[in-house]
Amino acid sequence: MNQPVLFALQVYGIAIVIAMLVAVLIKVMVSVTGRLERITAAKTVPQGEVCPVAEGIPEEDVAALSAAIFAAIGAHHILHISPSHRTWSSHGRAAQHTSHAVLQRPQH
C-alpha cells in the first residue's frame, strides 16, 4: 500500500478509538448522575399537612393520587388545590351548543 492510504487508516483508527472513549465516558457520567438523583430523591420526600380538598372526595383517593403524581414527576410542591369555578366550562359548553344550533331565519 502507499503512504496516503496508511495515513488515512491511522486517522480513522484514532478517530474510532476517541469516539469509543467519549461514548464510554458519557455512559459512565449518565449512570453516576442517575444513581445520585435516586439517592437524593429518596432523601427529599416532602413532609407536611395534606391540603384541604373538596367535600366528598375520600382522603385515601387524595393520598393515592398524590403518591402517583409524586412517582411520575418527582419532588414537586403542590401549592394550592381548591375547587374551581365552572364558569369557563359552562361558557365553553354554551358556545359549543350554540355553534351547532340551526340558525333561525325569518320565514318569508
Q: Give the best-scoring range by mean pLDDT among 26-35, 46-55, 84-93.
A: 26-35
Give every CB contact of residue 78 below 8 A, 6+ residues apart in sequence. Answer: 51, 66, 69
Q: What is the structure's pLDDT at 31?
A: 92
Domain hosting 32: range is 1-41
Instruction: Please write the tens of the pLDDT for every residue from 58-107.
Output: 778 878 887 887 777 776 666 666 666 667 677 777 777 777 656 655 55
Q: What is the pTM of this model?
A: 0.37
* Domain assignment of residue 1, yes or no: yes
pLDDT at 10: 94
pLDDT above 80 (res 48):
no
First to last CA, the chain: 98
In a domain, 12, yes or no: yes
Return the percentage of the chain with pLDDT > 90, whole number: 27
Distance CA 81, CA 74 (A): 18
Q: Give the total number of structural domains in the chain.
A: 1
- What confidence category does residue 52 fall into, taking pLDDT thresholds of 50, 70 and 90? low
As a whole number, the mean pLDDT across the chain is: 77
Higher pLDDT, residue 56 or 80: 56
Answer yes or no: is 26 within a domain: yes
* 106 is a domain residue: no
Within a domain: residue 60?
Answer: no
Q: Is residue 17 part of a domain?
A: yes
